[in-house]
Amino acid sequence: MAKRSADTGSRILDAAERLVQQRGYNGFSYADVAAELKITTASLHYHFAGKAKLGRALIERYAERFTEALATIEARLPDARARLDAYVDVYGDVLRGRRLCLCGMLAAEYQTLPKPMRQSVIQFFDDNEAWLTRVLEAGRQEGSLRFSGSAVDAARMLISGLEGAMLVARPYGEVGRFRAAVAQLLTGLAATPAGH
């Protein structure tokens, strides 16, 4: 019975995540999730007492998966430039699925989010910023990346650029627009042209 309950909880999170990434947090209701999964709203409330709790669980799960992706990148790719490319690919994969970054979408609605969710959104971006800062600093030291100013500022620029590129590419339905914008961002950080 516990496994079935956990499966239902995961299915709820999957459906809600998809809805948030497509419509935003304020653009879906428990009734939408219940209808998609063909379950009752009472079942939803059993797993997540309210929409704010569901929202926080969504962010925590998304951030956990993102952290796992970053750990995989670090384990597989030794140099900073390759890590940066792989980081960008994580965003591209989300966009190819006709979605936006969950926390990017939530950031657009930040002022209307419940307070516990707000802190979780900030934590997601802080964690990404810290990881990118380490990668950028390592790239500067090894000579594969160059940028003026601090690694923290460069990390913030990159995250902002990626989120913005996703947002602008979305209405066009063209991942190519995202790729072109990101290529410009990465070219600005490369110590040498790609392929040299």
pLDDT of residue 196: 45
Alpha-carbon span 184 to 196, nearest angstrom = 17
More confident of the two residues 7 and 73: 73
Mean pLDDT of 11-36: 95
pLDDT at position 4 over 60: yes
For the chain, what percent of residues have pLDDT higher than 70? 94
pLDDT of residue 190: 85
Supply the pLDDT for residue 192.
61
User: What pTM value is reported for the model?
Assistant: 0.89
Question: Using one digit for the tens of pLDDT, what is the confidence trace for 26-62?
Answer: 999 999 999 999 999 999 999 999 999 999 999 999 9
Give domain limits for the chain: 51-189
Question: What is the per-residue pLDDT across 129-155, written as a single tens digit (0 to 9) for each?
Answer: 999 999 999 999 999 999 999 999 999
Q: Do the Cβ atoms of 142 and 80 come closer than 8 Å?
A: yes
What gap in Å lies between CA 127 and CA 17, rounded to an integer? 20
Q: Could you tell me how far CA 37 lies from the centroid of its own chain?
A: 24
> CA nearest 88: which of 191, 195, 180?
180
The set of residues, in sequence order, having a beta carbon less than 8 Å from that of 53 and lying 6+ positions away, is none
**SS3 state at 79:** coil
Query: Considering the domain 51-189, what is its CATH architecture?
Result: Orthogonal Bundle (1.10)
Quick one: the chain helix, strand, coil %, rounded to 5? 80, 0, 20
CB count within 10 Å of CB 148 equals 7
